[in-house]
Amino acid sequence: MQTIPHTLSWGHDIPDPMRPARFRVESVQHELTGVFTVGLKPLDETQTFEFAPGQFNMLYQFGVGEVPISVSGDPARPTTLLHTIRAVGSVTNALQRVSPGTMLGVRGPFGTSWPVAAAEGSDLVILAGGIGLAPLRPLIYQVLANRSRFGAVCIFYGARTPDEILYRDELEQWRGRFDLTVEVTVDRAGSDWLGRVGVVTKLLASKGFSPPDTLACLCGPEIMMRYAVLALHDQGVGDQQIYVSLERNMKCAVGFCGHCQFGGAFVCKDGPVFRFDTIAERFDTREI
C-alpha cells in the first residue's frame, strides 16, 4: 500500500494539513437520485492535483462543514478533480446544491491507495457494491491505461435496482472491450430488466480468474465485503490477496482526532485501503 505525502503536485508543501486549498466548481453532474459528481479545478488552472487511486480528500463547504470523499476521477488527468458524492447529511446535501463557479475548500489527498504496482503480473478482481464503484473507478482507469501489465481483469458490480447502477455508460463501454470481464447484477428488478438478479458475490462463481494468482479489491457496504471475502476464500483467494476500502467517520484526516480509530489503526491515515489479513481479526466486530 502506498501513502502519498500531503503535497500539492505543483511543488508547494501544505504547511498545515488542516488548512483547505481553494478550488472552483467546474461541473456538477447528476448520476443517480441523490448521487452526483462534482468536478473541481484549482484557482490557478495551470496547476494540477496528483493522487493515487483509492485516496480521498476532505471537501469543505464554507459556512457548513467538511466531509471525506474519495477521488473518483482519472489519475492521469490531474487538471480536474472529480468526486462522486451521495447526499446523506448536511454537508453533502449542501454540496449537492453547488453550481459551477462555487468556491470549495479541499484538503488532501489523504490515505492509502489500491495496490496497483503489486497487482502487475497478476489477475485482478475488482468487486464493488453501490456507490463503492466510485473509489474503484480511478483504479480501473489506471489498469485499463496499462492493460498489458495485468493478467485477467474482472469487474463485478452490484446495485440494488437497475435505476441505481452507477456509471452505467462506462460499465457498458468497459463491457464492450475484449480484454476484460464486466458483470453487473441487481438485487431486484422488474420484468423489463434482462440482466442478472442476485447478490454481487454470486458473480465470483463465474471466475474468469486464477485464484492463486489473483489480487482482489473490494469496496461497498461492509456486509457485502464480508460475504465477498468469504466467497473469495471459497474460490481459493487468500487474505493477503484481498484489499478492502473502509468508510468511517473521519474528521481530521491525519489521525489527530481519533474519530476513525479501527482497533489500533486510523482509517484516515492507515487506510482507507487495507490488506485484509492486517484487519481480519476485527473486521467482523461491529461498532469498532
Residue labelled with grid coordinates 491507495? 113
Q: Are residue 147 and residue 193 in the same domain, yes or no?
A: yes
Domain presence at residue 270: no
- DSSP letters, 175-228, are HT-SSSEEEEEES---TT--SEES-GGGGGGG--S-GGGEEEEEES-HHHHHHH
Residue 44 maps to which CATH number? Answer: 2.40.30.10
Q: Please indicate, yes or no, whether residues 144 and 237 belong to a single structural domain of this protein.
A: yes
285: in domain: no
- Judgement on whether residues 128 and 188 belong to the same structural domain of the protein: yes
pLDDT single digits (tens) 214-258: 999 999 999 999 999 999 999 999 999 999 999 888 889 998 899
Domain boundary pick from 76, 110, 144: 110
Q: Assess whether 49 and 155 both reside in one domain.
A: no
Rg of the chain in Å (alpha carbons): 18
**What is the count of structural domains for the chain?**
2
**Nearest alpha carbon to residue 58 among 245, 248, 250:** 250
Task: Give the per-residue pLDDT at 3.
Answer: 44
Between CA 61 and CA 83 the distance in angstroms is: 14
**Does any domain span residue 3?**
no
Whole-model pTM: value is: 0.92
| 205/240 same-domain check | yes
- 147 and 196 share a domain? yes
| 137 and 229 belong to one structural domain | yes
Q: Are residues 80 and 149 in the same domain?
A: no
CATH of the domain at 157: 3.40.50.80
Residue 36 domain-assigned (yes or no): yes
Helix or strand run (H / E) with residue 32:
strand 21-32
Nearest to 187 by CA among 204, 202, 167: 202
- Final residue of a domain: which of 83, 110, 137? 110
Asked if residue 63 is part of any domain, the answer here is yes
Q: Strand 123-129 and strand 153-159: pairing? A: parallel
- pLDDT (tens digit, 0 to 9) for every residue of the chain, 288 residues total? 444 444 434 334 445 788 899 999 999 999 999 999 999 999 877 777 899 999 999 999 999 999 999 999 999 987 889 999 999 999 999 999 999 999 999 999 999 999 999 999 999 999 999 999 999 999 999 999 999 999 999 999 999 999 999 999 999 999 999 999 999 999 999 999 999 999 999 999 877 999 999 999 999 999 999 999 999 999 999 999 999 999 888 889 998 899 999 988 999 999 999 999 999 998 887 655
Q: Are 39 and 80 in contact (CB under 8 A)?
A: yes
User: Which residues span the domain enclosing 77?
Assistant: 21-110
Assigned domain for 262 exists: no
